[in-house]
Homo-oligomer: A and B are copies of this chain.
Protein backbone atom coordinates (compact mmCIF):
# COMPACT_ATOMS: atom_id res chain seq x y z
CA UNK A 1 0.00 0.00 0.00
CA UNK A 2 1.37 3.38 -0.99
CA UNK A 3 1.75 5.70 2.04
CA UNK A 4 1.54 9.47 1.90
CA UNK A 5 3.18 11.64 4.59
CA UNK A 6 0.74 14.24 5.89
CA UNK A 7 3.17 16.11 8.14
CA UNK A 8 2.08 17.06 11.66
CA UNK A 9 -1.58 16.22 11.08
CA UNK A 10 -3.96 14.95 13.74
CA UNK A 11 -6.01 12.04 12.40
CA UNK A 12 -7.44 10.69 15.67
CA UNK A 13 -11.05 10.88 14.53
CA UNK A 14 -13.99 10.64 14.63
CA UNK A 15 -14.65 11.91 18.15
CA UNK A 16 -18.05 12.57 19.74
CA UNK A 17 -19.28 16.15 19.53
CA UNK A 18 -20.30 17.33 22.99
CA UNK A 19 -21.99 20.36 24.44
CA UNK A 20 -20.10 21.29 27.59
CA UNK A 21 -22.16 23.02 30.24
CA UNK A 22 -20.85 25.38 32.90
CA UNK A 23 -22.16 28.24 34.99
CA UNK A 24 -20.34 31.41 33.98
CA UNK A 25 -20.99 34.56 35.98
CA UNK A 26 -23.80 32.63 37.65
CA UNK A 27 -25.63 31.79 34.43
CA UNK A 28 -25.70 28.51 32.43
CA UNK A 29 -23.65 28.42 29.24
CA UNK A 30 -22.97 25.73 26.64
CA UNK A 31 -20.07 25.33 24.22
CA UNK A 32 -19.45 22.73 21.49
CA UNK A 33 -16.28 20.71 22.18
CA UNK A 34 -15.21 17.59 20.26
CA UNK A 35 -11.59 17.46 21.40
CA UNK A 36 -12.47 15.18 24.26
CA UNK A 37 -11.18 11.87 25.58
CA UNK A 38 -11.35 9.17 28.21
CA UNK A 39 -8.56 9.44 30.81
CA UNK A 40 -9.58 6.52 33.04
CA UNK A 41 -12.75 4.49 33.44
CA UNK A 42 -14.61 7.30 35.23
CA UNK A 43 -12.62 10.29 34.01
CA UNK A 44 -12.97 12.34 30.86
CA UNK A 45 -10.98 15.20 29.34
CA UNK A 46 -12.02 18.40 27.58
CA UNK A 47 -9.52 20.39 25.56
CA UNK A 48 -10.62 24.01 25.78
CA UNK A 49 -8.85 26.86 24.04
CA UNK A 50 -7.85 29.37 26.74
CA UNK A 51 -9.66 32.16 24.90
CA UNK A 52 -13.08 30.61 25.54
CA UNK A 53 -15.56 32.31 27.84
CA UNK A 54 -16.48 28.99 29.52
CA UNK A 55 -13.07 28.19 31.06
CA UNK A 56 -13.35 30.71 33.90
CA UNK A 57 -16.71 29.23 34.92
CA UNK A 58 -15.27 25.71 35.06
CA UNK A 59 -12.37 26.94 37.19
CA UNK A 60 -14.63 28.96 39.49
CA UNK A 61 -17.09 26.14 40.21
CA UNK A 62 -14.80 23.14 39.74
CA UNK A 63 -17.63 21.47 37.84
CA UNK A 64 -18.90 21.01 34.28
CA UNK A 65 -21.29 18.82 32.33
CA UNK A 66 -20.82 16.87 29.12
CA UNK A 67 -23.95 16.51 27.01
CA UNK A 68 -24.19 14.41 23.84
CA UNK A 69 -26.49 16.03 21.26
CA UNK A 70 -28.20 13.79 18.71
CA UNK A 71 -28.03 14.31 14.94
CA UNK A 72 -31.35 16.20 15.01
CA UNK A 73 -29.61 18.86 17.11
CA UNK A 74 -26.72 19.49 14.70
CA UNK A 75 -27.68 23.09 13.92
CA UNK A 76 -27.89 24.07 17.58
CA UNK A 77 -24.76 22.09 18.47
CA UNK A 78 -22.72 23.70 15.71
CA UNK A 79 -24.09 27.12 16.63
CA UNK A 80 -22.77 26.60 20.18
CA UNK A 81 -19.29 26.41 18.62
CA UNK A 82 -19.77 29.50 16.46
CA UNK A 83 -20.78 32.12 19.02
CA UNK A 84 -19.46 33.04 22.46
CA UNK A 85 -21.45 33.06 25.68
CA UNK A 86 -19.88 36.46 26.23
CA UNK A 87 -22.14 37.82 23.47
CA UNK A 88 -25.10 35.44 23.29
CA UNK A 89 -27.30 33.61 25.80
CA UNK A 90 -26.93 30.10 24.37
CA UNK A 91 -28.83 28.56 27.28
CA UNK A 92 -31.98 30.11 25.80
CA UNK A 93 -31.80 27.43 23.07
CA UNK A 94 -32.34 24.59 25.51
CA UNK A 95 -34.13 23.44 28.64
CA UNK A 96 -31.53 23.35 31.43
CA UNK A 97 -31.56 21.02 34.43
CA UNK A 98 -29.13 20.61 37.34
CA UNK A 99 -28.09 17.45 39.19
CA UNK A 100 -26.32 16.61 42.42
CA UNK A 101 -23.44 19.06 41.93
CA UNK A 102 -25.82 22.00 41.57
CA UNK A 103 -23.46 24.08 39.41
CA UNK A 104 -23.14 21.96 36.26
CA UNK A 105 -26.03 22.86 33.94
CA UNK A 106 -27.25 20.06 31.67
CA UNK A 107 -29.37 20.02 28.52
CA UNK A 108 -32.68 18.16 28.76
CA UNK A 109 -32.92 17.71 24.97
CA UNK A 110 -29.62 15.79 24.84
CA UNK A 111 -30.12 12.02 25.17
CA UNK A 112 -27.05 11.75 27.43
CA UNK A 113 -25.63 14.10 30.04
CA UNK A 114 -22.83 13.58 32.55
CA UNK A 115 -22.06 15.90 35.43
CA UNK A 116 -18.41 16.05 36.44
CA UNK A 117 -16.14 17.39 39.15
CA UNK A 118 -12.76 18.78 38.01
CA UNK A 119 -9.94 16.69 39.50
CA UNK A 120 -6.96 17.90 37.45
CA UNK A 121 -6.14 20.53 34.85
CA UNK A 122 -3.41 19.99 32.28
CA UNK A 123 -1.82 23.10 30.77
CA UNK A 124 -1.32 22.52 27.03
CA UNK A 125 -0.08 26.09 26.36
CA UNK A 126 -2.92 27.22 24.06
CA UNK A 127 -5.49 24.96 25.74
CA UNK A 128 -6.66 24.12 29.24
CA UNK A 129 -7.46 20.43 29.48
CA UNK A 130 -9.99 19.88 32.25
CA UNK A 131 -10.11 16.34 33.61
CA UNK A 132 -13.44 15.57 35.20
CA UNK A 133 -14.58 12.71 37.37
CA UNK A 134 -18.09 11.64 36.47
CA UNK A 135 -20.46 12.06 39.41
CA UNK A 136 -23.74 11.07 37.73
CA UNK A 137 -24.89 10.21 34.22
CA UNK A 138 -28.39 10.78 32.83
CA UNK A 139 -29.90 9.04 29.81
CA UNK A 140 -33.22 9.31 28.04
CA UNK A 141 -35.22 6.21 28.89
CA UNK A 142 -35.90 5.68 25.17
CA UNK A 143 -32.14 5.28 24.51
CA UNK A 144 -31.71 2.39 26.93
CA UNK A 145 -31.86 -1.27 26.01
CA UNK A 146 -32.08 -3.40 29.15
CA UNK A 147 -30.54 -0.53 31.18
CA UNK A 148 -27.56 -0.25 28.81
CA UNK A 149 -27.07 2.79 26.55
CA UNK A 150 -27.82 1.95 22.91
CA UNK A 151 -25.85 4.37 20.76
CA UNK A 152 -27.97 3.55 17.72
CA UNK A 153 -30.79 5.31 19.59
CA UNK A 154 -28.60 8.11 20.97
CA UNK A 155 -27.51 8.98 17.40
CA UNK A 156 -24.44 10.99 18.45
CA UNK A 157 -22.81 13.59 16.20
CA UNK A 158 -19.31 12.43 15.30
CA UNK A 159 -16.71 15.06 14.44
CA UNK A 160 -13.83 14.86 11.98
CA UNK A 161 -11.41 17.79 11.94
CA UNK A 162 -9.65 16.85 8.70
CA UNK A 163 -12.53 17.87 6.43
CA UNK A 164 -14.46 19.77 9.13
CA UNK A 165 -17.43 17.41 8.99
CA UNK A 166 -20.09 15.73 11.11
CA UNK A 167 -20.91 12.04 10.73
CA UNK A 168 -23.55 9.65 11.98
CA UNK A 169 -22.72 6.43 13.73
CA UNK A 170 -23.03 3.38 11.47
CA UNK A 171 -23.63 -0.28 12.06
CA UNK A 172 -22.68 -2.23 15.20
CA UNK A 173 -20.73 -5.06 13.61
CA UNK A 174 -18.63 -6.86 16.21
CA UNK A 175 -18.17 -7.44 19.92
CA UNK A 176 -15.21 -6.11 21.87
CA UNK A 177 -13.09 -8.66 23.78
CA UNK A 178 -14.78 -11.31 21.60
CA UNK A 179 -14.02 -10.65 17.92
CA UNK A 180 -10.36 -11.61 18.32
CA UNK A 181 -10.84 -14.79 20.30
CA UNK A 182 -10.59 -16.97 17.18
CA UNK A 183 -6.95 -15.86 16.81
CA UNK A 184 -6.05 -17.10 20.29
CA UNK A 185 -5.82 -20.60 18.77
Asked whether A165 and B169 contact (CB < 8 A) given A10-B134, A37-B37, the answer is no
Query: Which residue of the partner chain B has the closest CB to A123?
Result: B120
Chain B residues lying within 8 Å of A162, measured Cβ to Cβ, are: 148-149, 151
Q: This chain: how many copies in the complex?
A: 2
Interface string of A40-83 (1 = CB under 8 A from B): 11111101000000000000000000101001001111111111
Query: Which residue of the partner chain B has the closest CB to A106?
Result: B3
Number of interface residues of A (CB under 8 A): 102
Distance of A160 Cα from B16 Cα, bound (Å): 11
Q: What is the minimal beta-carbon distance from A139 to any residue of chain B, in angstroms?
A: 5
Partner of A169, one of B34, B144, B148, B170: B170
